[in-house]
Structure 1
């Protein structure tokens, strides 16, 4: 039995769908997760948002994001976990 492709209309393609997609950022397992503060999330959203527009440089976005995370003064293991958790808030639209 092969994969069947259902017939879709143009209207079907115009609606966004997250079905079948999974988060590509995989957090380490365990109970060592530091809670994110709402002001930290807002800081990331306000200071280094990336919209994926043609004129935006994704490499510069990563540099700006990492510079911002460095300013949070986190220790080693918590820094990496917090960085992974915060990155999704820097992506917009």
Structure 2
């Protein structure tokens, strides 16, 4: 029976990565700041200047560039840029 299943697999079946037992590569960075909060005005600024809808005429690279540019405005002691990026995305959604 196992031999029959092996014979029915296509080349694309072998090229597909196995996802069983894998973990996310996104790890939340540690934040040493006591109070870390993104203000609603910052989130609104992100939504207005870095919104990406996936339309055919939109450039995803430009979207990422705009997002990083806006996030670079915000600096908080004890909070890394990566933590600000992740918090911006999770708060935004």
Which TM-score bucket, shorter chain as reference? 0.5 to 0.7
Shift in Å, 1:75? 5.0
Paired residue for 2:63?
61
CA contact (8 A) 2:46 2:70 kept: yes
Paired residue for 2:28?
27
Q: Which structure is larger by alpha-carbon Rg, 1 or 2?
A: 2
CA contact (8 A) 1:44 1:65 kept: yes
TM-score normalised by L of structure 2? 0.55
Runs (4+) of structure 1 moved beyond 6 Å?
none
CA contact (8 A) 2:28 2:83 kept: yes
d(CA) in 2 for partners of 1:54, 1:31: 41
CA contact (8 A) 1:48 1:61 kept: yes
Q: Kindly report the root-mean-square deviation, in angstroms, between the aligned alpha carbons of the 2 structures.
A: 2.9
CA contact (8 A) 1:25 1:84 kept: no
In the superposition, relative to structure 1, how do residues 55 and 77 fare at CA in structure 2: closer, same or farther (>3 Å)? Answer: same
TM-score normalised by L of structure 1? 0.55
Paired residue for 1:21?
none
